[in-house]
Structure 1
């Protein structure tokens, strides 16, 4: 395949993927969705969305960042233990962690409601949604970090640090973590993306007072407010694209630093 043929094919696929995105956000910045750009640009729908649904955007960010912190605190040590004690038991634990991903989100949400829905006021709190997001996103963090740990000579690295007199906390914090930074950032990228866009599980876990961005977006489409839904989608992209770009840049930088080491 020649260069120009490959380039043309790539551009065609890119246009195929990007076109629905452009079409979905266009009504949110035009005065009349039926007339398109000829009706003029407006920020009316964006202002209405922020006035009516701004709380859902902030709550989604709060849940996504909280999910990220918890999955890092739990997932990184879990991946380390699985890598240090590889065997049948570790494989079974790893497969058990992936189960929530294989099961439909609605089924997982129903299980959480039945198991923990009657615990105090948890059902009415945003923390209940956070629990669901952690259950769903944790396997992605564990898998991303575990892949990096298994690709290195973990025991040899620790033995070298031990020979230099480093204690276990020093070995873990000063040697292991810097070497798996790329995996942690890759996992963070997946966790934030999945949490911000998670809908199936959140649809059952939310209440009228704990509505997230995807649920609010679905409500706007259900109400046939295309302009509002489109503006909602645009706000989502404005939030997620810079965040993901920054995290991808950080992940690439971590990989380059690791390669130099």
Structure 2
């Protein structure tokens, strides 16, 4: 009897916390498809606000997707080999480099953006281009790719695989491409999803680095809440959720698959 009461209280507490987190998001989504939020659902359901968001902010959505994919490409090309090198060449220098790579995780996005502005803000064309935001996103997300790949390397005994391929006469690049990368695919995929999700949703760093011509989805979302009617801003939130939630579900699924193994 006592165990049932404890379980019921735990379940009730979990439901309350879940409702506290979910209800605001649900109300925001509802506002984005309601003709008049203040009159409620009885005013009717419409997609006109979603269409208006695409008319006004389609550029920010496409820019965020392009920057996220560009960030993913750079972190894959640089992060996966870096993780391999750090894992294989384990030592004091490797640990120092790893700490430097992961340092942006401990630095607030605004401070990181300020550092980029002070260092490279004087390069006018670079400062005004999408590459400036891309550089910030790469610095911010690189630790998550490196950490994810190094974690999977630790679980598959990379050194034994590398030595086995070397004994068969495979060159270093062939060992990396044909043996190491396929075996590390789960970690690379998890890191990739994390990089894309973080890049799409990053606001603080992007807000400091953007210009009026280089707005991304989170910056456009903030602008819509500041300048547009509630329904339009909520429709923008709906679009943001549609883009982010599948990535979060995929990350959770990959994490569960990794735990099962």
TM norm structure 1: 0.90
| Structure 2: gaps (5+ residues) | none
Runs of 4+ in structure 1 deviating by more than 6 angstroms, as ranges, are none
8 Å CA contact 2:114–2:208 kept in 1: the answer is: yes
Cα displacement (A) at 1:32: 0.8
Match of 1:39 in 2: 43
Match of 1:216 in 2: 220
Distance 2:247 2:194 in 1: 12
Deviations 1:208-256 (A, max 9, x none): 111001001111112262111100000111222334445665x469859
CA change 1:174–1:248 in 2 (3 A) is: farther
Match of 2:31 in 1: 27
Match of 1:126 in 2: 130
Cα displacement (A) at 1:7: 5.7
8 Å CA contact 2:70–2:134 kept in 1: the answer is: yes
CA change 1:170–1:7 in 2 (3 A) is: farther
Match of 1:199 in 2: 203
Match of 2:19 in 1: 15
Tell me whether 1:161 sits opposite 2:159 in the alignment.
Answer: no
Cα displacement (A) at 1:94: 1.0
2:184 is matched with which residue: 177, 180, 199? 180
| Number of equivalences | 257
Distance 2:98 2:66 in 1: 28
| Structure 1: gaps (5+ residues) | none
Distance 1:50 1:143 in 2: 36
1:1-261 to 2 correspondence within 5 Å?
5=8, 10-223=14-227, 225-245=229-249, 251=254, 255=258
Deviations 1:50-69 (A, max 9, x none): 10001100000000011011
TM norm structure 2: 0.90
8 Å CA contact 1:181–1:254 kept in 2: the answer is: no
8 Å CA contact 1:64–1:192 kept in 2: the answer is: yes
Distance 2:171 2:14 in 1: 51
8 Å CA contact 2:197–2:247 kept in 1: the answer is: no
Distance 2:252 2:81 in 1: 23
